[in-house]
Structure 1
Amino acid sequence: MHKRLLIFPLLLTLFLLLAACQPPPAPTVAPPEAPTPTAVLEPTAAPPPAVTEKVVISEVLGGIKGNNNYEFIELYNPGSAPLDLDGWSLAYRLGTSEEDIPVYQWRGKTLLPGQGHYLLARAGQDVGVTPDAAFEQALNTFNGGLALYKPDGEIADRLGWGKAPEAFTEGTAAEAMANGVSLERNPGGEAGNAADSDDNAADFTLQEAPHPQNSGSPLTPAVAQRLTIAVAAPEQAEPGSQFEYSLLVGNETGQDVHDVVVEFLLPAGLTIGDLPANVSASDQDTILWTLETLADGDEATISIPVTLPWTYMTAVAHSANIQAADWPDVAVAGPAITAIAGGVIPVATARDLQGAELTVEGVATMYTGGYYAGGGNTKFYLQDDTGGMQVQVFGGEDVVDIKIGDRVRVHGEIGVYRGARQIVPILVPDDVEILAKATPDTIPAPQPVSIADAATDKETLPGDLVQVEGLVSRVEEFSYSYEIDLNDDDGVTLGLYVDKLTNIGVEIIETGKLYRAKGILELRDGKLQLYPRLQSDLQEVFPPILLITADAPNTVQPGQTLSYAATIFNHTAAPMTNIRVEATLPAEGVTVESISEGGVQEGDAIVWTLPELPGDGAQVSVTYTATVSELAEGAILSDGFSATADQWPEAAESGELITFVGDTVPIWAIQGPGASSPYVLDRLSVKGVITGVFPDLDGLFIQETDTDDDPNTSAGLFVNLSQVAGQPA
């Protein structure tokens, strides 16, 4: 009758014993006497297993009908003690070749059980038994050879079949395999695979029912009295998640055993959680569990909690073993394989997983259609708490529509284009899923960074939505973009790339002015650049002053109402009091109709007195309307608005306002006397005589018939028709 001793209690734990590694019969109810007492030992490193030098190739399959990739290579240890395969390697040759083709090399401690097997299967193939490891090299069914090398380069075993390479054959080559027919070393089956006369033809037999065995398969020949160990783990888990390895050990030796040490090798990349009191980690990847006594017939179990890395990988727990001071043999567990896949990967982690197919999720920081992505394509950016990334959607133009603030999940492959890390959806549009539409609350805020960091940090900032501030030192136009340079106080320069697809106007931006710029910081050909997205991403930063701006319509018809408006800004840090705003009325041609609250007409001016205006950019607006005379013609001129305050006695002025009577603005006025037009970003109509058509420039030139005779203005104007359907051919 078996007794079961639970060293570490588990709730609802399912032991997933590997195929061909069967548990003992279901235990009966234990008698009422107390279980064998178990004491906790100070953990010590497991003594090295006895070394046997004999390892042979025991079975090979080169494919089945309809699937040439259904292949495996099996090794056998005819000795009683396990052997560490660290440093060993396996090579393959075609029948006529003298060149070794690497099949597999063992790195790190890897135990092949005494009288046990080790299974290599072709990657991605299910051969019915969990493989200990996988290989990529295809095998030829009809001719070829394998050689097993020791760490010192000596060949430990060779197997040649069919027209085999002489260097990889012992004696006479074995018969050629056929689809679904393996070569198995004699005697085979439950009798093991120990035959080794140094003649492949004599030692191997064609096996029509291949029987792959791994390190957890029953020992052959069977051993009645033994220690047992099995490791169970989930077959799949998501990156960043947690699970537990379950270790189950048993004593079937026929006697109590003492000073028991169980060794578990943690797969690389996993992090150990809190361990039970009698379990310790001797180094980063070796866990030791000690038992003072394990009574005959008893079983014990523990759980090893682990946290998975934020990456896709396959975690293989192998070579777990149990030994006791008063029992000669070491038992080895079969592999426990967990595929770490699925789930959502943090963007910062995903950026480094080049070539991986994965899923990311975040808030869109850039809309589709604003950055050039190639014909028929589109792209956008998303960002989570860890970082941002470009999403390049091939074939996504007019199919994928993303707005800033949308919450988006993207499945695709990670890659690099001109230095920018990106994810490329595989199925378009299915792999781009909008989880939630943008709302005012979901619009992402930029991360303020210095120009120095934005210009140099190529590790953590690319792909992120950031905000910088600096003096404009260059504004230049190109065919498809504008470029702006911002400098900090130390002379460090950050380039801004303004894609013309964003429809951002830069005409009002002047060198020497302080600007605050927002956008996506990205690497392009090794250089960091900021990519603004919206007109509002480029904002002038004003000195601490009282500022007033004013606006009036560009054109008006006789008899219509004309509206004037002014906005007063307090860019100082402190509030201002008793703000006086004055509007100078046009000298002729209009009659005042209405005045906004607080304003009164005083002769040829309208005056507003405002009690207080807070600081830090606070603003307030005033307006008035006037009716244009039926006899008005030419232009209606106003000296504009001015403002003063107790703290700002010198008047801030808006400048002159001009409104043309009719429906067009003269070319000379559009050109203006300065370096840039006073009508930048305004919508207006103009008329003139066509003087030249230039299809290569997507436009034409017009010229006015009546001019102002000012040598500082121009009578000609280029009309860009690139955004107009039916432009001249």
Structure 2
Amino acid sequence: MTKRKYILYAMMALCFIGVIFVFAPKVKAADDHIDDHIVINEIYPNPNSGGNEWIEFYNPTSADIDLSAYTIEDGTHKPKTLAGKTIPALSYFVIEKTAGGFSFALNDDGEILILKNAGIVVDQVVYGKWDDETNNPDNNAPVPAQGKSLSRIPNGSDSDNDKSDFRILAPTKDLENVLPVYSNSIIINEILPQPASGSADEFIELYNSGSVEVDLSGWQIDDIASGGSSPYTVPVGTIIIAGGYLSFYNTVDHISLNDSGDSARLIDPNGDVKSEISYGKSNRGQSYSKFGDNWQWTTALTPGGENILTVEIQTPDQDATILTTDISGARSQPDGETVQVTGVVSVTPGKLSSQYFYIQDGNSGIQIYNYGKNFPALQVGDEIQVVGELGSTSNERRIKITQASDISIISTHPPPAPLSTVIDQVGENLEGQYISVIGVVTKTSGSTFYIHGSGEIQVSIREGTGIQKPKMRVGDTVEIAGILSQYGDSYRILPIVQSDVKIIKSSGLAKTGPNIWIYFIISAILSWTTFQILYRKRKS
């Protein structure tokens, strides 16, 4: 063999090794959310009178970054160049809506901001109700009120989920975003949803269980999340003394508690819910009050004082009828019908929601709902008997119970296995059941993704399940198990445990993680073997 051919083969072997490194993706530690590039760190879209909108960038790296090729744009896609600017390491840069800054307007109720370097997206933030069908609105950051900013917490952290990355805080322009600490000793203690004297006398009472007074300036009182009344902001200078009570009436806070069921929430200025209580149908003239770890209706109204339990004795309704049927039969009944069904628990309360769980029998499944979150201790596989009223929410059937005693545990069985099916067979007949399907990822964003097989369906991972979404990309083949839930006119799968989300075939050619070294070792062995063979032939 000629010397030229020998060199050629050796070079081909080295190139083969190089390809492994060039195309293998760089793997960053899963718990390392401090990014290696500039991030959009704080947004001020709704300034106080006379103020300017602004956007703050942060450089979390150890090197200065030249912004010559960088642009920032909103949903109108009219980029503003950042040329001529440099952000020093671990420093900030703010651009305002002024003559020399950006010209687009940040929408108060929702917007998208895109930071690009030479046309390549470096960072993107979406807040409010913005939905351009390229992102999942469920993962959008919240909308800041006037005079508040949208801030990354921790400072510079980026998990690619805007809802979890951003908090509504007081502006910290050109400074580190820091989450203030607020008292945990303030609780909702008593609520009056249906006063006999009229709605003006509705009240929500707070209690300070701590040993020091607490300044409630900027705290908020609200009813049910994502709906209902507008939140009431506690005025500056409002103090609740240690061991003291403070009541807020409808005439002041304008919080209207629904007679048919609602929630009351206390929210600190960070946006964290410090105390929350939900109730079902209210009793006229009675308050819902806290007694130790429990809540009960009482005829003794005690705003500004310690709760007193006095119970009104009620006569059972002798005319009430209960239809005993299987789950499929119950699903066919009209809303308002009282039914008794038996089924096996497929997911426990708190996994998908604190207010509901699911049961199934051999043929059908259904959601079991309680507004006040009152359930007995349940395990997956428990066979239970449920008595409740049929209802619907967003076109999904449910059985509504009023108290934990509406559920009786009959026996315990192994956890049910998912029913294997195909996407185009998903429908009313499978709603509420634990199913599994195989499909190809068509879209992925945050905790939600879509898969296509014989049809397309959404997969949504709930925080309560503790499931860590695997790194996936469009084109991956996945096997998904979970509860089939209906929302409006569409169906979705809600996984329950980590093993419910499996990638069974990756669409990428490059390998990642520890497997890189396996391919490197194999390549090295093949290259060395080739070298030895060529060398021996040359010697002979």
Normalization by structure 2: what TM-score? 0.34
Structure number with bigger Rg: 1
Alignment TM-score, normalising by the size of structure 1: 0.26
Instruction: Judging by fraction of residues, say which structure has more strand.
Output: 1
